[in-house]
Structure 1
Amino acid sequence: MNFLRFFAPVITAIVLFTSLQAHALEAESFTKERFDALQAEGAPILVDIYATWCPTCAKQREVLETYQNENPDSELVILEVDFDDQKEWVKHFKAPRQSTLLLFDGSEQVWFSVAETREDKIFAAIGKLLGQ
């Protein structure tokens, strides 16, 4: 009984803190099949060429998480290309380095960026794609 009385406020604080945390980025691992299917549907797609060790990529990820948190009903699909493990797709997208972002309106590439971390620029490109 004393145990519960002592730890109840701590447990409550942990639960509240956890519920206030931002949600993790909702993204899918890139596959040709998924990319082709999304393009055929005319879906808005963001291809994120990232590396787990890249600080610029981490900042971009924070910006994209913020976008998703502020726009939970967005139709934007994020596909992640691993810079170290998916070299054929890095070359396919002509990414000069990790931290490359590409936006597609179906099969049409409408935006290309390298190392862009400014929230306003990334949000503006996504907004333009989605007609916002």
Structure 2
Amino acid sequence: MSGKLLRVGTAYIPVTNVEQSSEWYINKLGAGLSYKDEDKAILNLANQSFFLVKSDENQTLNFIDVHGKERFSMTFEVNGVESLEALYKDLIANGVRVGEFENREHAGRNFVFNDLNGNKFDVWSELSPQFKEKYLEGK
């Protein structure tokens, strides 16, 4: 293979109401709006482009694992436990449904939150070393 995948450019998130969902992501998570029509919105969040796509009811990114537990399909990263705890408090203050802090037997801590449509997202207290090196160190 002569080429290689360099990054994830866009993630697609199913939503039932594009207007309400785009406002939720903007107001609750600080996303920036690039484009919106009745069927989709393009948001910028966490150095990523997200398409909110109008979908039927009960469509989510979530999946059921082999043990019957509903899982998230995406993890966001913050820079340390203090940042994780601050985000947790901000989300609660903004009325976002969040889970408990978790220790998953690896470095750092996590929690899960849900958007308006029940899409689950994970947040981890540790930034990937490549991201730290490229975007944070030396600045």
The alignment's TM-score, normalised by the length of structure 1, stands at: 0.27
The alignment's TM-score, normalised by the length of structure 2, stands at: 0.26
Decide which structure has greater helix share. 1
Q: Looking at both structures, which has the greater relative contact order when contacts are Cα pairs under 8 Å and sequence separation is at least 6?
A: 1
Which of structures 1 and 2 has the bigger CA Rg? 1
Decide which structure has greater strand share. 2
